[in-house]
Amino acid sequence: MSPSAGTLEAVRRDFVANVSHELRTPVGALALLGEALSGETDPIVVSRLAKRITAEADRAARMIEDLLDLSSIEAGGPMNRRRVSVGAVVSAAVERAQPSATLRSVRLVVSAPSLHEAFVEGDEAQLVSAVANLVDNAAKYSHLDSAVDVSVDIKETDVEISVRDCGIGIPRDDLERIFERIYRVARARSRDTGGTGLGLSIVRHIATNHSGAVSVDSSEGQGSTSTLRLPMAGVEPNR
């Protein structure tokens, strides 16, 4: 086995081990909550346990959906490419991320392009997924009762979709690794937010599929700004 093949196999083993660990948490919680619920008669306690069961089931479902999305994107399956309105993508993404924001009393504030409507060539479903992951991530790591700003800017031949929060931020040393599958800055963050650790990896793959790029600028304790850059439809790159 060549070194590159050995490295790939090691990455796969680590990924499977991490996914198994992450799924074990909600599945184990479901078992414990179900056991507690089976002998409970107090309506208030039953209601509380039922809500916890629903939350853990949703957490497991989100991870499975993210795994399926990531697997499909990495496999390079067919893309439904067409001319897509960036405004429509952002609106759909914000709507998808709204429940997560509402849970933390986070306001989602959208700024439309200042001059004209922007369009890109791509798979609308993938693009909505990418932006929704960025907005959802920002909302989850924002402080309660704060705001997440989503803006769209035209930069010559590119469109930049930026998502800015004033949350807990990311240490500089971790910025290079946050796009890895399952990587997290701290395990406590995932326990607090219920994230799967796959969102930014999905965004990176979607950006690559669309000849774009994604970046994150952040300072610990001072919030983060994630930017998805995509080539505008029908515009020749000037570089």
Residue 125 lies in a domain: yes
> Tokens 């399926």 — which residue?
68
Q: In this structure, are 22 and 138 located in the same domain? A: no
Q: In this structure, are 63 and 164 located in the same domain? A: no
Provide the whole-model pTM. 0.71
* Contact indicator for 120, 127 with CB cutoff of 8 Å: yes
**Residue that is last in its domain, among 74, 104, 121:** 74
The yes-or-no answer on residue 21 being catalytic is: yes
- Digitized pLDDT (tens) for each residue of the chain, 239 residues in all: 444 566 556 555 656 666 666 677 778 888 888 988 988 889 999 999 998 898 788 777 777 776 777 666 766 666 788 999 999 999 999 998 888 888 889 999 998 654 457 899 999 989 998 999 899 889 988 888 999 999 999 888 999 999 999 888 887 777 676 766 555 554 444 444 445 556 788 888 899 889 999 998 888 888 899 999 999 986 555 54
Q: In this structure, are 101 and 206 located in the same domain? A: yes
Nearest to 160 by CA among 110, 227, 213: 227
- Active-site choice (21, 116, 205, 210): 21
Tell me how crowded residue 78 is: count the other CB atoms within 10 A of its CB: 7
Q: In this structure, are 91 and 186 located in the same domain? A: yes
**Residue that is last in its domain, among 74, 101, 132:** 74
